[in-house]
Structure 1
Amino acid sequence: MAKAVVTVVGKDQPGIIAGVAQTLATHNINILDVSQTIMSDIFTMSMLVNLEKLDEEFNALQDDLNAVGDKLGVTIHTQREEIFDAMSRV
C-alpha cells in the first residue's frame, strides 16, 4: 500500500482539520490514522494517508495542500512513507 505522512503546524483556528481533510478527499485519499494536539495556541497534526487511489501526480497533491495551508495560515508537509521512514533512520 502506498502511504504518505502529512503534518500540519500553525496557529490554532477553526477549519484546519476540515480544510485538510476536504483537500485529501478531493484527491480520493483516505485518512488511515490521525493525531492532533494544541500546545498553547499552536495546532499540530500528523496524518497517515493511503495514496493508492490518488487521482493524479503526488506533486499536484502537495501543491493543493500547500495552497490550503497558505489560506489557513498553517504549514503543511507531505512525504511519501518510504521517504519519511528513511529520513527518520538517518
Structure 2
Amino acid sequence: MEAVITVVGNDKVGILAQVCTACAEANVNVEEVTQRILRGTFAMIMLVDVSSCSMDFTAFAEKMKQKGDELGVDVRCTRQEIYDAMHRI
C-alpha cells in the first residue's frame, strides 16, 4: 500500500533527513520525493510504500505528525487511494 506524506513549514536544515529517518525507523520505503523552498517556506511531497510498515497506518501517521511537531512543520500522511479520491475532479 502506498501513502502520500506532505510537509510544509518554515525552512531549516534537516527536515528531509529527519522525515526520511522516521520513515526508515518504521520500515517505510520512500519511493519518490519532490521538494521546493518557496520564499522561505519548505514544501515537500513524498510517495512512500507502507506495505511493510512495522506499525498500523494510524500509528505511523501519528508518528509522522509528532515528528512534524518536533520540527515545527506540518506533516500529514494520507493513504494513496484517499489522496487520489480527494483530488479527483
Interval of TM-score (by shorter of Structure 1 and Structure 2): over 0.9
Partner of 2:7: 8
4+ residue stretches of structure 1 with deviation over 3 A? none
* Identity fraction in percent: 40
Partner of 2:33: 34
Q: Report the Cα distance in structure 2 between the residues aligned to 1:24 and 1:81, rounded to whole angstroms.
A: 16
> Match for 1:51: what amino acid?
V
TM-superposed deviation, 1:85: 0.6
> Match for 2:79: what amino acid?
R
Q: Report the Cα distance in structure 1 between the residues aligned to 2:64 and 2:51, rounded to whole angstroms.
A: 18
> Match for 1:82: what amino acid?
E
CA RMSD, aligned part only?
A: 0.8
Provide structure 1 residue ranges, at least 5 long, that are not aligned to the other structure: none
- CA offsets per residue over residues 10-42 of structure 1, 9 Å max, x none? 000011011100100011011110000000100
TM-score, L = length of structure 2: 0.96
Provide structure 2 residue ranges, at least 5 long, that are not aligned to the other structure: none
> Match for 1:65: what amino acid?
M
